[in-house]
C-alpha cells in the first residue's frame, strides 16, 4: 500500500521533505552541461541524478513536475523516465506531478502511462474537476496495484481562491472537495491510519490547511508552497497530525538552485553541487521538524487566522 510505504519512509528518515525536480535548462550548472555536450536529455538527467545522489539517504520521495520535461520534447520525456528509474533505484518513492483529469476512458490511458507504462510512478497528482468517473481509474490502481494519488483540493497559487473558495451551499468548494477525497479514500486506509488517496493542499493558505487537516484526518497531504512560493515552516506544520505524520512538503527551486547562492555558481564542481544541495535539504528538514515539534507542544485550537483569511474562509470550528 502506497500510504504505508510513504509513512514508513518518513518515519525511517525522520524527514517529510520531498525533492521537487522541475528542470529548467538555464538552471543546469556548467559542470553538468559541459560533461554532456549537446545532449539535453543527458544534461537534465545528469543534473537530476546529482541532486538525487546528494539527498537520497535523507528524503522519502521525489516529485517530478512533468510539464518541465514535456517542454523539452521527446528528450525531456526520456529524462523524466530516467530520473524516475534513478530515484526508485535509490529507494525513493516517485510522485509524478501530472495533474491529469479527463473522462474515464482517457483517465484510464493516463493511468496506464504513468503507473504501468513508460513512466512507472508510485503516485500521481490528479485534477478532480470532471468528477468521480475521471478519478475512479486511479483509485482502482490504488486498490489493486499499491499506487497512490494526490487530488487537487486547495492549491498554493495566488488565484486559487477564484474557484476553490466559492460557496457550494453552506460550505466552500475546497471543503466540499476535501470531504469527497476523504470519502474516496475511506477503503484504502493503511496501518498508520492514512489512505493511499491523498490531497494537494498549499501551505500558502495556512488557515485552510489547518482546517483541511482536521476535516481529512486519514488523508495524507502533499504540501507545495514552502520556500520559493513564500510559505514558512510554521504554516507547513499545520499539515501534520499529533504524531508528526500525515504530510510531505515539497521544495523544488530552493533545492535545485541551492548552488546559485554561492559566490561563483558557474565554477562549481559536481561534488560542490551535491554538497550545497544536501546542506539546503538538511536545513529544510530541520526547519520543518522544529516547527512540527513546536506545534505539537501547543494546545489544540491555537491556530489564528489573519484578517484577509478570515474574510476569505470561515470554516466551522475556527474562531474569528
Q: Alpha helices, DSSP H only, in 56-191?
A: 66-70, 74-89, 104-111, 132-145, 161-164, 173-184
3-class DSSP state of 149: strand
For the domain spanning 2-312, the CATH number is: 3.20.20.70
Confirm if 194 and 218 have CB atoms less than 8 A apart: yes
pLDDT of res. 151: 99
* Extents of the domains making up the chain: 2-312
pLDDT of res. 305: 38
C-alpha cell at 305: 487566522
C-alpha cell at 248: 510531505
C-alpha cell at 182: 476523504
Please confirm, yes or no, whether 179 is among the known catalytic residues. no
From CA 106, how far away is CA 109, in angstroms rounded? 5
Confirm if 273 and 29 have CB atoms less than 8 A apart: yes
The number of beta carbons lying within 10 Å of the beta carbon of residue 62 is 27
pLDDT of res. 256: 93
pLDDT by residue for the chain (320 residues), tens digit each?
A: 999 999 999 999 999 999 999 999 889 999 998 888 778 899 999 999 999 999 999 999 999 999 999 999 999 999 999 999 999 999 999 999 999 999 999 999 999 999 998 899 999 999 999 999 999 999 999 999 999 999 999 999 999 999 999 999 999 999 999 999 999 999 999 999 999 999 999 999 999 999 999 999 999 999 998 877 777 899 999 999 999 999 999 999 899 999 988 888 888 999 999 999 999 999 999 999 999 999 888 765 444 433 334 344 444 333 32
C-alpha cell at 191: 496501518
Question: Alpha carbon 251 to chain centroid distance?
Answer: 8
**Among the options 99, 180, 275, 314, which is catalytic?**
99
Amino acid at each position: 500500500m502506497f500510504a504505508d510505504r510513504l509513512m514508513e519512509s518518513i518515519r525511517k528518515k525522520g524527514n517529510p521533505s520531498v525533492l521537487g525536480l522541475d528542470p529548467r535548462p538555464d538552471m543546469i550548472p556548467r559542470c553538468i552541461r559541459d560533461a554532456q555536450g549537446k545532449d539535453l536529455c543527458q544534461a537534465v538527467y545528469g543534473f537530476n541524478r546529482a541532486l538525487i545522489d546528494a539527498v537520497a539517504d535523507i528524503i522519502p520521495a521525489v516529485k517530478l513536475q512533468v510539464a518541465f520535461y514535456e517542454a523539452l520534447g521527446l528528450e525531456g520525456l526520456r529524462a523524466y523516465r530516467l530520473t524516475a528509474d534513478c530515484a526508485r533505484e535509490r529507494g525513493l518513492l516517485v510522485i509524478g506531478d501530472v495533474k491529469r483529469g479527463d473522462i474515464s476512458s482517457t483517465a484510464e490511458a493516463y493511468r496506464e502511462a504513468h503507473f504501468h507504462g513508460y513512466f512507472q510512478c508510485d503516485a500521481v497528482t490528479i485534477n478532480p474537476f470532471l468528477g468521480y468517473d475521471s478519478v475512479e481509474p486511479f483509485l482502482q490502481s490504488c486498490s489493486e496495484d499499491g499506487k497512490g494519488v494526490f487530488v487537487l483540493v486547495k492549491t498554493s497559487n495566488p488565484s486559487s481562491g477564484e474557484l476553490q473558495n466559492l460557496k457550494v451551499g453552506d460550505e466552500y468548494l475546497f471543503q466540499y472537495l476535501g470531504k469527497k477525497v476523504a470519502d474516496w479514500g475511506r477503503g484504502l486506509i493503511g496501518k498508520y491510519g492514512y489512505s493511499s488517496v491523498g490531497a494537494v493542499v498549499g501551505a500558502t493558505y495556512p488557515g485552510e490547511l489547518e482546517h483541511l487537516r482536521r476535516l481529512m484526518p486519514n488523508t495524507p497531504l502533499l504540501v507545495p508552497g514552502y520556500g520559493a512560493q513564500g510559505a514558512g515552516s510554521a504554516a507547513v506544520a499545520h499539515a501534520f497530525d499529533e504524531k508528526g505524520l500525515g504530510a510531505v512538503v515539497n521544495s523544488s527551486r530552493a533545492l535545485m538552485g541551492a548552488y546559485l547562492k554561492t559566490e561563483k555558481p558557474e565554477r562549481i564542481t559536481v561534488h560542490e553541487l551535491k554538497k550545497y544541495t544536501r546542506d539546503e535539504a538538511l536545513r529544510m528538514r530541520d526547519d520543518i521538524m522544529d516547527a512540527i515539534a513546536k506545534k505539537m507542544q501547543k494546545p489544540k485550537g491555537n491556530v489564528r487566522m489573519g484578517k484577509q483569511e478570515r474574510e476569505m474562509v470561515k470554516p466551522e470550528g475556527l474562531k474569528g
